[in-house]
Structure formats: C-alpha cells, structure tokens
Structure 1
Amino acid sequence: MADRQSSWSAVTPPPPGYLPTHRPPSAPPDLSLQGLPPRPFYREPHRVAALPVLSGLGATTLWFVLFGSLGSDLTSYAWWTILAAAVAWLVAVVLSLVGDRGVAVGVAVASGVGLSIALTFVALRWMSTYDWPLW
C-alpha cells in the first residue's frame, strides 16, 4: 500500500517549493517568454443573444402551425410536419453559416420539438393499432 503523505498544520508553513514564488510588481518581466507569441484568448465572434433565439422559436412555431394545419388526418399531419422540419433544418444550417446564429438556434430547437410532438402521436397510434400510420 502506498504511503500517505502527511499534511502540515495551519500554523506551520507549507514545505519549500510547494507554493509558487511571487515576483514583486516592480520585478522585470521574465526574459525567457519575450520571443513567444501572446497567450491566446478564445471568444465567440458571433454571440448568441436571447431575443434572436426567441424570434427563431416564434417564427418556427408559426411555421409548424401553418404546415400542421394543412393535414386532415394523422398521416398527412405527420408528413407535413416532417417536410416542415426538413425545411426548417435547412434554414437553420444556412442561418448558422451566413446569418444570425441565435435565430438558427431558435429554429433548430423549435423544429426538433415540433417534430418530436408529431412523431409521438405517430408512435402512440402505432402502439395502439399495431399499424404504422405513415404508409
């Protein structure tokens, strides 16, 4: 069994070399780092805000309501919803590449939720009648 290292009490300082040494603010900079490029910092160039996400959610919800209302039964409703989801996902891809990423996120989320709702109804019909309703 490996030996456990003993910890030091709060009244005694830690062992030498445990804590990093701090340079005073007036100390010259470290000359070994002068030839290196500055450290990178990573930030999103196109930030996603809440208002564009909400507008994408609202527009896609309206899109799904309009397409879903074209269906007269479960089969046509499901196919119209699948078509609406495919078009919405294409729009989300285009928006994420050349447009507003916040709206693309809203469109993608709403289309995923809308498609899940439609396919839940399809699955429930399939489980209750043992007949696949999309054919």
Structure 2
Amino acid sequence: MARPDPGPDPAVVAQQVARTPSGLFPAGPPSRPTYREPHPVTGGGVAVGGAAATAWLLLFGLLGTDVTSYAWWTVLAGLLAWVTALVLIRYGDRGVATGVAIVTAGGWSIAAAVVVVRWATSGDWPLW
C-alpha cells in the first residue's frame, strides 16, 4: 500500500507567498530614526523634586517672623529653587526639575494669598 502524497511543506509555501504589509504592525526597520529622551520624566523624580522643594520652601518660610519677611524669604527661596530647576532641566533629571517648579509655583501662590489676606484685613500693603 502506497502512502498518500502529503503535498508541499506548509513552511515552504508560507515563505514563497509574498504578503504586502498593511501598515498596522511594523514590518521592518523604521524609515526614520527613533530618538529617545536622555533624561525621561518619571513619577518618582517628580515626587522627589516636589518633596525637596517643599522642604526648601518650608525652611526658608520659617525664617520669617512676620508676613513681610515670610513673603520675601519665600520669593528668595523660590527664585533659588527655579534656578536649580533650570540647571536640572539642562544637565540633570527633568522629572525632579518639574516637581521643583510645580511646588515652587504653589509656594509662591500661598505666599501671595497670605499677603493679600493681610492686605485685605489691615488695609495696608504689607510688603513695604
């Protein structure tokens, strides 16, 4: 009894059939170069930068003995923090710089609110 002919090998047939890629899935090397961020922003980096800026602003804010000195110490601390954030953006971790910038803006907002409340209740501009 002779064995039936199994036909062509399915792997060979699959290699011979040329398919045109649909474009849905990458079929080969990319036609353009792929660039990667050298210092990607991560959630952990943002949290560390935010915590560091919070401590920084808190320490400088505690140096103030009244609303005027608190506001000026906060402005100074914020400016120093933003200079640090700019250096981190250029040479370091951009996530930490983002956290520093966000918390510094929040700290300045709190200081501005304190000044406005003092101004509204006393009728005298407290910064000079």
TM more than 0.5? yes
For structure 2, the residue ranges without an aligned partner over 5 or more in a row are 1-16, 22-29
Does residue 77 (structure 1) correspond to residue 77 (structure 2)? The answer is: no
Question: What pairs up with 1:113-132 in 2 under 5 angstroms?
Answer: 113-132=106-125
Distance 2:95 2:20 in 1: 46
For structure 1, the residue ranges without an aligned partner over 5 or more in a row are 1-23, 29-36
- RMSD of aligned alpha carbons: 2.1
Distance 1:42 1:57 in 2: 28
Of all paired residues, the percent bearing the same amino acid is 54
Shift of 1:132: 0.9
Query: Any idea what SS the aligned residue of 1:55 has?
Result: helix
Q: 2:46 aligns with which of 27, 40, 53?
A: 53
Shift of 1:83: 0.3
Question: Residue in 2 aligned with 1:14?
Answer: none
Distance 1:43 1:76 in 2: 45
Q: Which has the higher contact order (CA 8 A, sep 6+)?
A: 2
Q: Give TM-score, length-normalised by structure 1.
A: 0.69
Q: Give TM-score, length-normalised by structure 2.
A: 0.73
Larger proportion of helix: 2
Any runs of at least 4 consecutive aligned residues in structure 1 with deviations exceeding 6 A, and if so which? none
Distance 1:103 1:80 in 2: 22
CA spacing shift, 1:68–1:38, aligned 2, 3 Å: same
Shift of 1:129: 1.9
Report the structure number with the largest CA radius of gyration. 2
Shift of 1:40: 5.5
